[in-house]
Structure 1
Amino acid sequence: MGSSEMTYFDATALAELIRTRQVSPVEVMQAHLDRIDSVDPAVNAIVTIAPAAMELARAAEAAVVSGRDLGALHGVPISVKDSIDTAGILTQRGSPIFGGRIPDRDAVSVARLTGAGAIVLAKTNLPEFSYSTESDNLLTGRSNNPWNLDRTPGGSSGGESAAIAAGMSPLGLGTDLAISVRGPAAQTGIVGLKATHGRIPMTGIWPRAPRRFWHVGPMARSVRDVALALSLLEGPDGADAFASITGRSDAATGEAVSRPLRVGWLVGPGFGPIHPEVAATVQSAADALGAAGCVVEPVRIPALERDFALEVFMRLHVMELKPAFAQATAGRAPDELFRMAKGMLAAPETSMADFVEAEQAADRLRDGFADFFGRFDALLCPVLPLPAHGHGATEFVIDGRTVDASYVMAATVPFNVTGLPALSMRFGTSSEGLPINVQLVSSWRAESTVLHLASQLESVSPARGLHPDL
């Protein structure tokens, strides 16, 4: 088996190959290190190689040889966004302010994957403080999309998405405040899952507060990998008060479906303008689910039309996040701050009246989705309004309408504001050869529904098996 072939196996396959002694953890680790050496100079997804990665791979190989019980990810390399703490490995949060920072302990999400035998291979690039839709910062520079180096892999988990898409890692962890797992997954054509808020603890991820819209989630090249990761990541930890969901999601096996699932599909209104190729991909996915036996119909969600979720989020999050930025940057020189932190610190505060109205709008959105999921099992919709865009874009022209670049979040942020689970997966390709993903959303705590539907789509995806030509 060639090393280039090995780097495009998914994590589930690699774990099985290791378990059955067809490959060794050392071979797998070396193949991924070689891949990083080969392609990362152009992509710049990796910011740190874990110093003990090969040593841990040798220990994992010894465990296989000795016949010890093996975890579900034994010997499998993983990558971790550089805002997520990793013991003994640089975690610099995309800022010179945190340059050289080495945590003493792993984030809970990292510890749960390594507890199942995974080995941290590398940390991946991100925007300063995880706060942008493009992964660029003063400390480790800009990441490029492996499908087209002139395009962004997104943010804030853009280094993570680029690394996985380019075969540098089979599985990783990102964080998602408004878009940051699902959007980068869409820009690079991989799978990203934002579970129900509170399903996975955020302990060990900066900032500690606020956390009510923030999620940590798995990113991979297959639906079964994010399902496996979710089954390992979920559950309270006794430290994150939001992480209070005690029931299992049955993520590894999916939902036992005894009736046709009802799926509503929506391109607009409610998300702003959508590129025609993205809209066509969503409709193709709807047709595929219909052919698979689901009851599928176009829908409208009045709550999304009444309260534009992106505007609601913008009015809420500045007041909540600004204090964390101010505390982190207090007393620091201006040349230590990049445009993300400067923009947040300069943003006008929301008036109390507008903040209260935004809170009420968020409740109306939750109620609107509660009504929708009383009648449907899932929602199928876009992830992004357009395929991966060029670096540094400040506005887009989408379907004849000019919008601010923040509109890239318009179809993802409703599910942060409401805490609903949402999955991003590829189902198409643009006329420029760029990935187009669709988004599957289910009711709170019903991750098994989106994973089941995503598996059905994955099996018939016209983009299945495609990889960047690097």
Structure 2
Amino acid sequence: MTQDIIFTDATGLAELIRTKQLSPVEVVRAHLDRIAAVDPKVNAIVTVADGALAAAKEAEAAVMTGQDLGPLHGVPFSVKDSIDTAGVMTQRGSPIFKGRTPDTDATSVARMKKAGGILLAKTNLPEFSYWIESDNLLSGRSNNPWDLDRTPGGSSGGESAAIAAGMSPLGLGTDLAISVRGPAAQTGIVSLKATHGRVPMTGIWPRAPRRFWHVGPMARSIRDLALAFSQLAGPDGQDAFATSTVPFDAGLGAAPDRKLRVGWMVEPGFGPIDSQVAATVKAAAEALKGEGHHVEEVRIPALERDFALDVFNKLHVMEMKPAFRVATAGHEDLMYRMSKTMRSLPDTSMEDYVAAEQAAERLRDGYATYFRDFDVLLTPVLPVPAHKHGIKDLVVNGETVDLTYLQGATVPLNVTGLPGLSMRFGTSREGLPINVQLVGRWQAETTILHAASVLEAVSPVRGLHPSL
């Protein structure tokens, strides 16, 4: 029974709780037991919320007395440790903030609780969410449940590992360049980086700058992403980027009155891509074609003219360094190597910064041109499956590139703000998950969630879980 509970998606758990087939206490206890059993090997959990069982008992009483129940009533969820949680430590992966306990929840956490969710645990990350492997001086390194010698990614790597390993059914991560979509790909779960500003960043470090930052759901099923997003989206009156009132239907929306127009691409524009990853993207394209949608291979010239990772680096280093200097002032001895590296990077010249801003506009225009003719863009998430811990370079199809190239296909959506979804559709020769990315036009989350649900229904890897 415990095994059934820990690998049931959040939507399914909510229905079982609502119909009194499971109690919230059973569900929370099953996940706490799973954490105790497997987290010593995975190291995804930073803090277990003290009030989880008490909240589960209250949720059970609400079911038994016939009270109105939220869509996530009694369902546990986990939260990346950069996102504020009232009364539960939020330490940002840094000894500088050891023991820090916020008084209030981030907007995203408060909305999950309002929907009936129960905060279960906080999950690991790189210091300040600033790297592509989840390792820090405070809580150590997280491991991939599919292969403990490999990374679950970053910066939401603890979150992805917890969900993949059955320690949590649903969670919140943040995404600056890769950080919900990449970890999802490395552990074979699903995640959504919605259009920039759709979900408020209130209560998440850094407060500024945040024009490339997103917070989004990570889960086991596409319907869970839709359900969570329906609760998370909308302005909160505090985050000035979060202004959209475009409605979202948690039921994935009605199917379009015509077939989807889908373009797929692997290269060029993202850097080198492993042949197994390329084959998985093509297989997903063929699957959509097999379901009757219009599918063709495409190119986006703007991505070939301006490499989005270079554009992002020029813009973000200039904007982020002041936040790092403030946060770490006087604590240099407590900093992990990536924060030290960030502090030491040379400033972008004003000339280069302006040129990068112009390049970013060309990228936005390039996607706008593409989406005149297509509804969805299908791409890789990562150039390779999950890599081993501690490497400095990637060798992809015989070409050696810097590890930051992991972000080649994800960072364009942070520069442009467009929505992107990561979902598994393949398996490497070594048994590791391979995900694909579905990209939509501005505020078209319903479209990519619908396309993802089509793929999920015919997925060759549906229902696979790591054995720990």
Q: TM-score, structure 2 length as denominator? A: 0.99
| Alignment check: 8 A CA contact 2:164 2:189 kept | yes
Q: Are 1:343 and 2:341 counterparts?
A: yes
| Alignment check: 8 A CA contact 1:189 1:437 kept | yes
| 2:231 aligned residue | 232
After TM superposition, give the deviation of residue 260 of structure 1 in Å: 1.0
| 1:99 aligned residue | 98
| 2:180 aligned residue | 181
1:206-261 deviation digits (Å, cap 9, x = unpaired): 00001100000000010000000000000000000000111113343324300111
After TM superposition, give the deviation of residue 5 of structure 1 in Å: 1.4
Supply the distance in 2 between the matched residues of 1:335 and 1:61 (Cα, whole angstroms).
Answer: 47
| 2:281 aligned residue | 282
Supply the distance in 2 between the matched residues of 1:344 and 1:412 (Cα, whole angstroms).
Answer: 20
1:309-360 deviation digits (Å, cap 9, x = unpaired): 000001110011110010001111x320001110100111111000000000
The one-letter code sitting in structure 1 at the alignment partner of 2:149 is D
| Alignment check: 8 A CA contact 1:255 1:449 kept | no
| Alignment check: 8 A CA contact 1:44 1:144 kept | yes
| 1:392 aligned residue | 390
Supply the distance in 2 between the matched residues of 1:54 and 1:207 (Cα, whole angstroms).
Answer: 31
| 2:67 aligned residue | 68
Measured on the aligned residues, the alpha-carbon RMSD in Å equals: 0.6
| 2:359 aligned residue | 361
The one-letter code sitting in structure 2 at the alignment partner of 1:363 is E
The one-letter code sitting in structure 2 at the alignment partner of 1:450 is I
| 2:379 aligned residue | 381
| 1:151 aligned residue | 150
| 1:423 aligned residue | 421
| Alignment check: 8 A CA contact 2:262 2:295 kept | yes
Determine helix, strand or coil for the equivalent of 2:423: strand
| 1:404 aligned residue | 402
Identical-residue share of aligned pairs (%): 72
| 2:19 aligned residue | 20
Structure 1 runs of 4+ off > 6 angstroms?
none
| 2:265 aligned residue | 266
| Alignment check: 8 A CA contact 1:231 1:252 kept | no
| Alignment check: 8 A CA contact 2:252 2:449 kept | no
- Give the one of 432, 449, 452 matched to 2:430: 432
The one-letter code sitting in structure 2 at the alignment partner of 1:9 is T
Supply the distance in 2 between the matched residues of 1:357 and 1:168 (Cα, whole angstroms).
Answer: 45
Q: Are 1:204 and 2:203 counterparts?
A: yes
| 1:451 aligned residue | 449
The one-letter code sitting in structure 1 at the alignment partner of 2:70 is G
Determine helix, strand or coil for the equivalent of 1:415: helix
Determine helix, strand or coil for the equivalent of 1:206: coil
1:32-65 deviation digits (Å, cap 9, x = unpaired): 0000000000000000000100000000001011
1:234-249 equivalent positions in 2, closer than 5 A: 234-249=233-248
| 2:3 aligned residue | 4
Supply the distance in 2 between the matched residues of 1:317 and 1:418 (Cα, whole angstroms).
Answer: 13
| 1:293 aligned residue | 292
The one-letter code sitting in structure 1 at the alignment partner of 2:272 is P
| 1:324 aligned residue | 323
